[in-house]
Chains A and B, each alone.
Chain A
Amino acid sequence: MTHEDYKAMLHAHALSALDAEDARALNQHLAECDECRSELADWESTAASLALGVNPAEPSPQVRDRIMNAVRNEKQASRVVPMPQQSRRAVWASFGQVGAIAAAVACLVLILWLIVMWQQNRSLHRQIDLLSSEIRYTQQEARRANEFVNILSSPGAKVAELQGSGQGAGATAQFVYDRSGRAMLMANNLPPAPAGKEYQLWFIVGKNPPIPGGTFAPDDVGRGELFDQVPDQALESAVFAVTLEQAGGATAPTSSIYLRSGL
C-alpha cells in the first residue's frame, strides 16, 4: 500500500472502523509517518465531536463518591501516611484546675465515645468499599470467562498456554482463538506496566519478523485481558509472545519476552 492509500484510511481509523488487517497495516505505517499521525489527530477530533450529538444524560451523584473513594484507597495503598502526633500537654493544660476534673472526665468520655463511633463508621465504610470491589471483581471475572467460553465454543477453536520468563517469571496466560481469528488473551500475575508503557502481543510465524498484535495494561493485581484478531498467516502454527512496549504499541519488539507459548 502507498502513503496515499494509508491517508485514505485515516478517517475510518479515527472511528475504529477498520477491519483488523487494515488497522494493523495502518498502525505500522503510522509509527513511521508524522504527516499521517497529525492528520489522524485531526480526524479523531472530528470523530469525538459526534459525542456532542447525543442526548445529554446525568449519572447518579453516588458515582462521584465511588470514584473519589477508589482514588483515595489507591493513594493510601501506595503510601503510608504518618499519623499526626497529639500534644498531650496541650490537652491537659486546659484541665489544670481540680474543680474542672469532673467536666474533663465527662468531656473525655464524650471524646472517647465519638472516636469509637468514628472508627466504627470508618470500618463499616472500609467493609463496604471492600465488598463493592469484590463484587466488581467477580463481575469482571464472569465477563472474561463468558467471552473466553464464547470463543472456545466456536468452530476450530484452539487454546495456547503462555508461560512467564525473565522479568515476567511467575506470570501465566491463556490465549484462545477460533478459525476466523477472533481471539482473547487472559494474563495473570504480570508486573505492573510503568507509566507510558503497555504490554503487547506478538505473532511469530517461522523465522519471519514478529507480527504486532494489540496492547493492554494489567490491573493492580496483575491481570490483563486483550481482544485481538489473529493474522491469517498465524492461524495454522505460530508462537504467541508478550513484551513490554511504549503505550500504543511498537512495530517490532524492543523488550525481552515476558510471556510466550510453546510451538
Chain B
Amino acid sequence: MCLDVRHTDRLILRSEQPHDDHDVELLKAVAVKDEAGEAALGQLYDRYRVILFSVLMRILNNREEAEDVLQEVFLQVWRRGADFDANRGRPFTWLVTLARSRGIDRLRAIGSRERVVAEAGASEPAEEVSDAATDAIRSEQRGVVNSALSQLPEEQKRPLMLAYFDGLTQSEIATQLGAPLGTVKTRMRSGMIKLRELLSARGQYFE
C-alpha cells in the first residue's frame, strides 16, 4: 500500500490498515473458491453489506432493486475475486467502485434517467444502523467524510453527487444545472481537489 507521508495526523489510517490487510486476505481466499473461500465471502458480506447497500439505496432509492444488485455484486466478487489487485488499491475502494458501477448500470437499465434526480437522499430519514463489531466502516469515518462534505461549497458538491450517485456525465450535469459545461468541469475539479485535501488533513485519505 502506498501511504501518504505528507500528513502526520493519521489516527484513522493506523486503525484502518490491519483491516485492509485482513480484507485482502479474505479476497485472496474467495478467489480459491473452496469451503474457506465461501466462509471468507460470508465475512466480506458481514463487513461491507451496510456500506455497499447504503450506496445502492442512495443510487436506486428502492430496497428491492438495491438488494438484488447487492446480491449481484457479491456473486461478482465470488466469480471474479481473482481480479482484485492489492497493488492497485484498497479492498474498500474496489468493492465500493464495483457496487456503485453495478448500481448505475441498473439505474440505466430500469430507465430511471428521466426521473427527478433525488438530491443527496436528503428527504430520506437515516435508518438506525448501529456499528456491528464486524462492520468494515465505523461511524467515526462517516463523520469525517460528512464533515469534509459539509465544508465543500454547494456549487462544487452538487456536481460530484450528480456524477457519483446519479451516473450523470459532465454534459448531462451542465444541462441539469443549467450551467456552462466549462463551469461544471472547473467546479468538479475544484470540488475533488478540496475533498482530497480535507480528507488528507483528517487522515482519512491514504493512497
**Are B164 and A47 interface neighbours, CB within 8 A?**
yes
For chain A, residues 18 to 52, give those with C-beta under 8 angstroms from any C-beta of chain B: 18-20, 41-52
Interface residues of B in 27-57 (CB under 8 A from A): 33, 38, 41-42, 45-46, 49-51, 53-55, 57
| Cα distance, A50 to B161, chains bound together (Å) | 8
Q: Are A63 and B169 touching (Cβ within 8 A)?
A: no
Q: How large is the interface on B (under 10, 10 to 19, 20 to 34, 35 or more residues)?
A: 35 or more
A66, CB-defined interface residue at 8 Å? yes
Contacts of B46 in A (CB 8 A): 64
Q: Does B8 count as interface, using CB distance less than 8 angstroms?
A: no
Is there an interface contact between B58 and A48, defined as CB atoms closer than 8 Å? no
Q: Which residues of A contact B (CB under 8 A)?
A: 8, 11-12, 14-20, 41-60, 63-64, 66-68, 70-72, 74-75, 78, 136, 143-144, 146-147, 150, 195-196, 217, 227, 247
B contact residues vs A (CB 8 Å cutoff) = 33, 38, 41-42, 45-46, 49-51, 53-55, 57-58, 63, 66-68, 70-71, 74-75, 78-80, 82-83, 88-90, 92-93, 96-97, 100-101, 104-105, 108-111, 121, 124-127, 129, 137, 141-142, 144-146, 149, 159-161, 163-165, 167-171, 173, 185, 188-189, 192-193, 195-196, 199, 204-207
In the A-B complex, the 10 residue pairs with the smallest Cβ-Cβ separation, listed nearest first, are: A17-B163, A52-B145, A15-B163, A56-B129, A11-B192, A55-B126, A48-B96, A54-B58, A59-B53, A48-B93
Known contacts A50-B145, A56-B50, A67-B75; 4 additional CB pairs below 8 A are: A17-B188, A20-B169, A55-B54, A59-B67
